[in-house]
Amino acid sequence: MADSVRELAGAFKRFLAAQEEDEFLTTAAPVRAAVSTPAPAAPAPSTTGELPPMAADSTLDISFVHQHEPTAPTETSTMNKADKTRALAELAQTIASCTRCPLGATRLIAVPGEGNVNADVMFVGEGPGFDEDRQGRPFVGRAGQLLDKMILAMGLTREKVFIANIAKCHPMTDPLHPEKHGNDRAPNAQEIACCRKYIEQQIAIVCPKYVVALGGVAAKALISDAKSLGALRGQFHTLHLDSVELPKPVQIIATFHPAALLRNPNWKKDAWIDLQMVMDKLGLKGARK
């Protein structure tokens, strides 16, 4: 035991001292080896998508760190409709009682997302607002009414697509007064990090052909943190997830958030161009050729 601790400490020192990439590669392996022997008691793999409990003696507060923890993968590659429905329902249950970030203490009802488990298109917004917080359903307020129109204009219906958000609980500017209107804000980086695995699992389970990221928060969370919505929209990107493997490649396109379109109706024509790109791929009528 003492030997393995000494070995770990030595390897960790070498790891910290390594400046060059070559050095990192040669020192990282011993660190991994030392860390993995003796093997720590692993938490039982979760079948519900629940996070493994933290070790009781852990002094690291990881609740706000962007986590790439290797949790029990959801086997998504061979899922039929019933499997998908079950996996999404289990995930929704986990989300309903999630307290990974402070939003869990102030939300009224969590909003996991909903829709067709075999959807070709999945829309992803930033997070629930006032109305969603009360109904537990995504995009049911004013922005949602516009999203419904966008979906219909594409030749689809709400029943044919899947709709979810990056954050599953209502981010409020004044969490002490959830009854206030105009109390919405975008989820912050820590809240997004805590929630990320939920949307990733939903995408992997539904495995749509196309994800439409609505607005900069969703676009940056799912495509690239480093770019603005303006730089990301108008083109397809191959989706890469942090915590789950996709059963097949998924393309993602970013466009304006319906709430932004309500404030800036002159952006609608650009949003329509983005949506037509998806329609074109799916062979839906009305797509620009």
Residues that bind ligand URA (CB under 6 A): 125-129, 132, 138-139, 141, 143-144, 165, 259
Q: Kindly tell me which of 90 and 132 has the beta carbon lying closer to ligand URA.
A: 132
Contact 160/166 with Cβ under 8 angstroms?
no
Q: Kindly tell me which of 85 and 135 has the beta carbon lying closer to ligand URA.
A: 135
Rounded to a whole number of angstroms, the minimum distance from the CB of residue 141 to ligand URA is: 6
Q: Kindly tell me which of 143 and 193 has the beta carbon lying closer to ligand URA.
A: 143
- What's the distance, Cα to Cα, between the start and end of the chain in Å? 68
Could you give the CA distance from residue 268 to residue 176 in angstroms, rounded to a whole number? 35
Beta bridge partners of 212: 123, 253
Residue from 17, 39, 3, 162 nearest 91 by CA? 162
Could you give the CA distance from residue 252 to residue 218 in angstroms, rounded to a whole number? 11
Q: Kindly tell me which of 104 and 125 has the beta carbon lying closer to ligand URA.
A: 125
Between the CA of residue 70 and those of 97, 197, 203, 221, what are the distances in Å? Answer: 21, 11, 17, 19
Q: Kindly tell me which of 126 and 274 has the beta carbon lying closer to ligand URA.
A: 126
Could you give the CA distance from residue 273 to residue 195 in angstroms, rounded to a whole number? 30
SS3 content of the chain, % helix, strand, coil (to 5): 45, 10, 45
Q: Kindly tell me which of 8 and 186 has the beta carbon lying closer to ligand URA.
A: 186
Q: Show the 3-state SS of 189-255.
A: HHHHHHHHHHHHHHHHHHCCCEEEEECHHHHHHHCCCCCCHHHHCCCEEECCCCCCCCCCCCEEEEE
Q: Kindly tell me which of 51 and 232 has the beta carbon lying closer to ligand URA.
A: 232
Rounded to a whole number of angstroms, the minimum distance from the CB of residue 230 to ligand URA is: 18
Residue bearing tokens 């999945």 = 122
Rounded to a whole number of angstroms, the minimum distance from the CB of residue 132 to ligand URA is: 4
Angle of the 81-96 helix axis to the 189-206 helix axis, nearest 10: 160
CA dihedral 146, 229, 272, 218 (to 10 degrees): -50
Q: Kindly tell me which of 86 and 149 has the beta carbon lying closer to ligand URA.
A: 149
DSSP 8-state class, residue 44: P
